[in-house]
Structure 1
Amino acid sequence: MYVIKERFFDLGDDFDVVDDHGRKVLHVDGKVLSLRDRLVIEDPSGHEVASVWRKLVSLRPTYRIEIGGEEAAEVTKKLFTPFRDKFTIDVPGPDDLEMSGNLFDHEFTVERGGREVAAVSKRWLSIRDSYAVNIAEGENHLLILCAVLALELALQREKGDRD
């Protein structure tokens, strides 16, 4: 399980992602005031391992994830989804992921082929303004954490907090 601060832009552009023992596993360097809402994700020793940024030319909110300098996925919000927010995590090849749930309350699941591979919840934690990301064994933890960060970028832009 990982812990991410909710609404991390309110606290500044940089923050850490920690495991359930409080150990820093990732550092996120936010370039949120940039045109593309870019996040650089670093390992604990400061080496860049991934990045997330908003694509400018897209009809729907779309964020690109690179891991190790290679395109790993695009996170795109579905346009019409009554009562639930839904995003597609389009990865190269046939194993796309779907995220759905109540994203404003940070209660959602990530599924592949109808099987839950991750869950995000504020209810699991007593830490204020944080939420937990619980990822199934064998899944790409970095990819899913980057997708959650892309969701947060999309939600902040949608709410107009930084416009």
Structure 2
Amino acid sequence: MYVIKERFFDVGDDFDITDDSGRLVLHVDGKVLSLRDKLVIEDPHGAEVASVHRQLIALRPTYQIEIGGEKAAEVRKKLFTPFREKFTIDLPGDDDLTMAGDLFDHEYTVERDGREVASVSKRWLSIRDSYAVRIADGENHVLILAAVLALELATQREKDEEKQQKEQRQDD
């Protein structure tokens, strides 16, 4: 199980992903002044293992994950999903994953062909402003953690845009 701080998205924030005993597993470097909402994921020694960035030209929110300098996946919001938010983790080939559930409140699952491969929840922890990610054996942990972070970027961006729109309406 991994633990991620819930509220890490002030511009340029860095934070750590730990295991359930508090040991550092990954460090996440939020790039200051990045137009592409970029995160660099590093091992405990500071070596880059993955990155996540927003694609600027896309019809819907889309984030690219690179692992080892190679494109590993795209995370994008599904269109036309009544009653619940869904994101697809588009992998090369036919092995795509889906994130569905209460994405904004960190209570959701990651599935492949209807089989749960990971779950995200705040309920498992007593640590305030944190949530846990459980990933099934045999899955690519870095890829799934990067996808969870891409979802964080997307939902935070959506919240920021809603806030800006609300402020503009109040100013008018």
TM-aligned CA deviation for residue 83 of structure 1: 1.8
1:110 aligns with 2:110: yes
Structure 1, unaligned runs of 5 or more = none
Q: Is the 8 A contact 2:122 2:132 kept in 1?
A: yes
Counterpart residue type for residue 138 of structure 1? G
Paired positions, count: 163
| 1:59-98 map, 5 Å | 59-98=59-98
Question: Residue 49 of structure 1 aligns with which residue?
Answer: 49
The CA RMSD measured in Å over matched residues stands at 1.5
d(CA) in 2 for partners of 1:51, 1:139: 18
TM-aligned CA deviation for residue 33 of structure 1: 3.6
The DSSP-based 3-state class of the residue aligned with 2:57 is coil
d(CA) in 1 for partners of 2:98, 2:32: 25
The percentage of counterpart residues that share the same residue type is 80
Q: Give structure 1 regions of 4+ aligned residues with deviation exceeding 2 angstroms.
A: none
Structure 2, unaligned runs of 5 or more = 165-172
Q: 1:120 to 1:32 in 2, by over 3 A?
A: farther
Question: Residue 21 of structure 1 aligns with which residue?
Answer: 21
Q: 1:97 to 1:32 in 2, by over 3 A?
A: farther
* Normalised TM-score (structure 1): 0.96
Q: Is the 8 A contact 1:7 1:152 kept in 2?
A: no
The DSSP-based 3-state class of the residue aligned with 1:108 is strand
d(CA) in 2 for partners of 1:156, 1:118: 21
Question: Residue 30 of structure 2 aligns with which residue?
Answer: 30
Question: Residue 100 of structure 2 aligns with which residue?
Answer: 100
* Normalised TM-score (structure 2): 0.91
